[in-house]
A and B are shown apart, each in its own frame.
Chain A
Amino acid sequence: GAVVSQHPSWVICKSGTSVKIECRSLDFQATTMFWYRQFPKQSLMLMATSNEGSKATYEQGVEKDKFLINHASLTLSTLTVTSAHPEDSSFYICSAYSLRNEKLFFGSGTQLSVL
């Protein structure tokens, strides 16, 4: 089946620093990838839709200047949390849609802890 690789798996950083998370589709091309955030015992909340070669589409309430998304190739999307604060601590997960499989595959997630 299709594989989506996400790293790092976890990161601890100081308040005010920026953190970059990578999401790669390993054996298929993904023109569209998705970024979610999940707080403990909460649902996956879609943050933004990442479109290859164009600007990301952000969900209401998500600051595009704080959560920078770059989808420069058909297999890689990155999410940068700029000037992270403790309230940004969460589980961030990416996903990519495989046209071949007609299914959505998830990365393994990144646990971000901001001190």
Chain B
Amino acid sequence: RKEVEQDPGPFNVPEGATVAFNCTYSNSASQSFFWYRQDCRKEPKLLMSVYSSGNEDGRFTAQLNRASQYISLLIRDSKLSDSATYLCGVGYYGGSQGNLIFGKGTKLSVKP
């Protein structure tokens, strides 16, 4: 079983739609969780950290479910500019700070 798994998609949605992605992790000792956005041939950019209590940043909401070992990202009112690949990154106890394991990413395509 891979350490961090994501549905590769693509998710094709119309503008204004709400879309959600999940990311599962296998290491129960995981301690930190992040969502990154990556555009084609560009570096990943941090979208948001994921906290146990859940957190929201504008149209984006991230949640963590430790019992089921997954994190989720919800995007409301999708914009054309949201089209990108979304990577989840998971850090774990005992690893170097910043040493994250990434999923393969979920591709989102928002259509007019």
Q: What residue of chain A has the Cβ atom nearest to residue B45's Cβ?
A: A106
Given that A43-B87, A44-B102 are known contacts, is A106 also in contact with B96, CB under 8 Å in the complex? no
Check B43–A96 contact: CB distance below 8 A. no
Contact of B16 with A by CB under 8 A: no
Check A104–B104 contact: CB distance below 8 A. no
CB distance from A46 to the nearest CB of B (A): 7
Check A32–B97 contact: CB distance below 8 A. yes
Using Cβ atoms and an 8 Å threshold, which residues of chain A touch B100? 104
A43 to B86 CA separation, bound complex (whole angstroms): 11
Please count how many residues in chain A sit with their CB below 8 Å of the partner chain's CB atoms: 23
Instruction: Give the secondary structure class of A's interface.
Output: strand
CB-based A-B contact count at 8 angstroms: 49
Q: What residue of chain A has the Cβ atom nearest to residue B36's Cβ?
A: A106
Contact with A along B79-112 (1 / 0, CB 8 A): 0000000010100000011111111110000000
CB distance from A2 to the nearest CB of B (A): 10
Contact with A along B12-49 (1 / 0, CB 8 A): 00000000000000000000001000000111111001
Check A106–B99 contact: CB distance below 8 A. no
Residue ranges of B at the interface with A (Cβ–Cβ < 8 Å): 8, 34, 41-46, 49, 87, 89, 96-105
Residue ranges of A at the interface with B (Cβ–Cβ < 8 Å): 6, 32, 34, 41-44, 46, 49, 91, 93, 95-97, 99, 103-109, 111
